[in-house]
Amino acid sequence: MKIFVAGASGAIGQPLIAELIRHGHTVTGMTQSEAGARRLTDQGAAAQIADAFDASAVEQALRRSEPEIIIDELTALPKHPADLPKYAPGDRKLRLEGGGNLHRAAQACGVRRYIQQSSGFFLHPGEGLADESVGLATDATPGVAASAQTYADLEARILNSNPMEGVSLRYGFFYGPNTWYHPEGGAADQVRKKQFPLVGQAQGVWSFVHIEDAAIATVAALTAEPGIYNIVDDDPSPVSRWLPPFAKWVGAPPPSTVPEVMARMVAGPDAVYYSTKLRGASNEKARKTLNFRPRPLQWLHEPEA
């Protein structure tokens, strides 16, 4: 199939393009730079240079590529999670406005299917793991609510775009090469600097997914039934369980514990929400429908040396 990947230079871009090519698909990646284009061609993909905010350029890129399916992985996230608050408005603008240009161009060009990156961690609070019927936490603390609303808007756009088929992939927190959750990543840096404590009981449940497993699931979604899929690992875990082993894995001291009141005063309400309120997601649908078999979370299950 002819596949067009927007956000081809992001964390998931390289493993996704490699996986698509491995399956024999004809792949075009959209990038803003000549350097990005060279990386794509080195991988064996075609490249289209276009700014997502230039609607005309985006449509021309699609018309030249003639894709059957678009995979929208557009993001504008920082290399370090500490910088997320100042990057968040630009990220939302790229996903909604830039992605909107891509979506409208897809409709104009008769693209058959549109696959959209979404969130498997900003889910509405409740008991147990959330399945795909659970909505996004648009009434959470301000930063979390804004991100959840962005994903809700994206899902509404692609799931109501008949006759084009819409698929929303609710990825967990990415870990692995070129992500925050890797020994060279931004979260590891925070933990080593004692900037990532356990807040209160640290009972918030996080869903992760290895970046390569996310790419494999995305390729499987090319032919799956339209709809929403949670792309997360098998073992969503509270922060109290996953953070101390993560610190050990990246060579950091054990994380400290701070009361919720203090964390709210120093780091703000979103930091408290992340540690105490996040809800894990169930991957049962993806396992059954996409034959999704994610690897165990590396720092929880890696054998002792």
Neighbour tally for 43: CB within 10 Å: 17
Is 304's pLDDT higher than 90?
Answer: no
Is 121's pLDDT higher than 60?
Answer: yes
Is 107's pLDDT higher than 50?
Answer: yes
243 and 187 in contact (C-beta within 8 Å)? no
Question: pLDDT of 141-178, one tens digit each?
Answer: 999 999 999 999 999 999 998 899 999 999 999 999 99
- Reported confidence tier of residue 303, pLDDT bands at 50, 70, 90: low
Output the CA–CA distances (angstroms, integers) from residue 137 to 55, 81, 196, 224, in the order listed. Answer: 30, 20, 23, 26
Give residue 179's identity as a one-letter amino acid code.
T
Give residue 207's identity as a one-letter amino acid code.
S
Q: What is the CATH architecture of 2-180+208-233+280-300?
A: 3-Layer(aba) Sandwich (3.40)
DSSP labels for 257-292?
A: EE-HHHHHHHH-HHHHHHHHT---B--HHHHHHS--
Question: pLDDT of 46-68, one tens digit each?
Answer: 999 999 999 999 999 999 999 99
Is 96's pLDDT higher than 70?
Answer: yes
Is 305's pLDDT higher than 50?
Answer: no
Percent of the chain with pLDDT over 70: 99
Question: pLDDT of 204-228, one tens digit each?
Answer: 999 999 999 999 999 999 999 999 9
Q: Burial level of 138, CB count in 10 A (0-12/13-18/19+)?
A: middle
